[in-house]
Structure 1
Amino acid sequence: MRSAMNGSGPGVLRGVLALLLAGLLAACDLQNISELEEGVSTEADVRERFGAPEAVWEGEDGAQIYEYNRQPAGHTNYMITIGPDGKMAALRQVLNARTFAQVQAGMPMEAVRRMLGKPMKITTYSLKRETHYDWRYLEGASADTSMIFTVVFDTDLKVVSTMSTRDPDLDPGR
Structure 2
Amino acid sequence: MKNITRRICWGLAALLGALGIAACDPQAIKELEEGVSTEADVVQRFGQPERVWPEAGGAKTYEYNRQPEGMRNYMITIGPDGRMSALRQVLTPDNFRRVQPGMGVEDVRRMLGKPARQVPYALKNEVVWTWKFLEPPSEKKAFNVIFSPDYRVIRSEVGPDPDGPDMRGGG
TM-score tier after normalising by the smaller chain length = 0.7 to 0.9
What is the TM-score normalised by the length of structure 2?
0.84
Corresponding residue of 1:3: none
Aligned counterpart in structure 2 of residue 149 of structure 1, from 143, 146, 151:
143
- TM-score normalized by the length of structure 1: 0.83
1:103 corresponds to which letter in structure 2?
V
Residue of 132, 135, 138 corresponding to 2:131: 135
Structure number with higher helix proportion? 2
Q: How many residues align?
A: 152
Distance 2:115 2:162 in 1: 16
CA distance in 2 between counterparts of 1:48 and 1:25 reads 12
Q: Aligned-residue CA RMSD in angstroms?
A: 1.6
Partner amino acid for 1:99? Answer: N
CA distance in 1, matches of 2:141, 2:21: 17
- The alpha-carbon deviation at position 60 of structure 1 amounts to 2.1
Unaligned runs of 5+ in 1: 1-17
- The correspondence of residues 81-160 of structure 1 with structure 2, limited to 5 A, is 81-140=77-136, 142=137, 144-160=138-154
- Percent identical among aligned pairs is 54
- C-alpha displacement of 1:68: 0.5
Q: Runs in 1 of length 4+ with deviation above 4 angstroms?
A: none
Residues 133 and 73 of structure 1: is their aligned pair in 2 closer, same or farther, counting only changes over 3 Å? same
Higher relative contact order (Cα pairs below 8 Å, separated by 6+ residues): 1
Deviation at 1:127, TM superposition (A): 1.0
Partner of 1:160, secondary structure, is strand
Residue ranges of structure 2 left out of the alignment (5+ in a row): 1-14
